[in-house]
Amino acid sequence: MVHRAMASVDVLAAALVVAAFAAIPLAGQTPTGAAKVKASSTWTVPRTPDGKPDLQGVWVNFDQTPFEQPLPAMKTGDAPAAGAAAPVAAGRGNGFADPTVVVPRRPSMVVEPANGRVPVMAWAEKVREDKAAHIGDHWENGTTWDRCVTRGIPGAMFPAAYNNGYTIVQSPGYVTIVYEMIHDARVIPTDGSPHLPSSVRLWDGDSRGHWEGDTLVVDISNYNGKGDIATNAASARIRGIPASDELHVVERFTRVSDKTINYEVTLTDPKVYTSPWKIAMPLIRDDNYKMFEYACHEGNVYFWNGTLGGGRAQDRAAAESGRLWTQVGRPISCPSLFRIS
């Protein structure tokens, strides 16, 4: 399948996300714990042959919930109540026919801090803004998703407008998650083996899992400090925020029904955030969902030919007019690298 992050598709996907995420929660709603689904007292957790909770299957998370709560001054009173079932416009009309899934509407994906806002430091937001303003200058100014390297962990779990499919496979001592978008496969040891030496650094960190009762807990460290915490447009303000080498992530997967896994993730990075923060959302089992190849390769030629070519066209227009081209109020440098005629 043709790589789905071509420039025209990116614009369309971004528009779909903006529309789908336009609902703003009521003032005074608190997000803490809102995403959890309680297990029925009559439901029994299915188990694998080795006795572990069975998380296997195809799971999706098309979700209309905004990533963060808005600032108080931006809140309105016309949003549906938290917890109301809401059909999600999960890709109808984007060309990929991703299905609509009904999930509980919540005030925000962020459930801690209680205000539903990520406590990101100002310097990290400035890095994001500067890179976005200069994306036409250099490929390193794009996110790792723009470059088809990785969506990151836990970024790969954050909903986008399309390709929100995950296949979970278990075997004794391992849980593997196959991601539809950028076709990553994350193998998580659950055999008690320790983290890799601290000298080994990875784009997606080093995942190590263990079971706490019926919950799979995954501890992730050893990040290389070159990635982004979130890469898709649905992450809004947090898209493109850098992930440092001190990022520490803890995920929790708890199956609470035949059709639902409660997913929670806590992020700590003292270089980027003033305090830890937490995301919570349901994963919905869909046995009819078909995962397709996301033929994205490092380099993402179509996207970058257009993006860098557009930057060079701006450079030429500026030179011809005898003035320095500006974008978003900032001057754009004119590097000779990647000049595309």
Task: Kindly report, residue by residue over 205-258, the tens digit of the pLDDT.
Answer: 999 999 999 999 999 999 999 999 999 888 999 999 999 999 999 999 999 999
Report how far residue 268's alpha carbon sits from residue 125's, in angstroms, rounded to the nearest whole number. 17
- The predicted model scores a pTM of 0.78
> Distance between CA atoms of 56 and 97, rounded to whole angstroms?
24
More confident call, 202 vs 34 = 202
**333 vs 338, residue with greater confidence:** 333
The tokens for 10 are: 């990116």
Question: Per the structure block, which two tokens stand in for 235?
Answer: 């992450």
d(CA 38, CA 35): 10
d(CA 262, CA 83): 15
Is residue 272 predicted with pLDDT exceeding 50? yes
At 322 the pLDDT is 67
pLDDT at 199: 97
Taking only the tens place, the pLDDT of each residue in 144-175 is 888 888 999 999 999 988 889 999 999 999 99
Cα–Cα dist 318/332, whole Å: 10
Q: Which residues pair with 60 in a beta bridge?
A: 165, 284
Q: Render pLDDT for 90-116 as a digit per residue (tens, 0 to 9).
A: 433 334 545 565 677 789 999 999 999
Instruction: Give the separation between CA 189 and CA 204, rounded to whole angstroms.
Output: 15
Is residue 105 classed exposed, middle or buried when 0-12, 13-18 and 19+ CB atoms within 10 A define those classes? buried
- pLDDT (tens digit per residue) in 290-332: 898 888 877 888 888 888 899 899 888 888 876 554 554 555 4
Query: What is the number of H-type helices and E-type strands within the chain?
Result: 3, 14
Token pair for 273: 């955030």
CA distances from 160 to 105, 121, 156, 208 (A): 16, 24, 9, 26
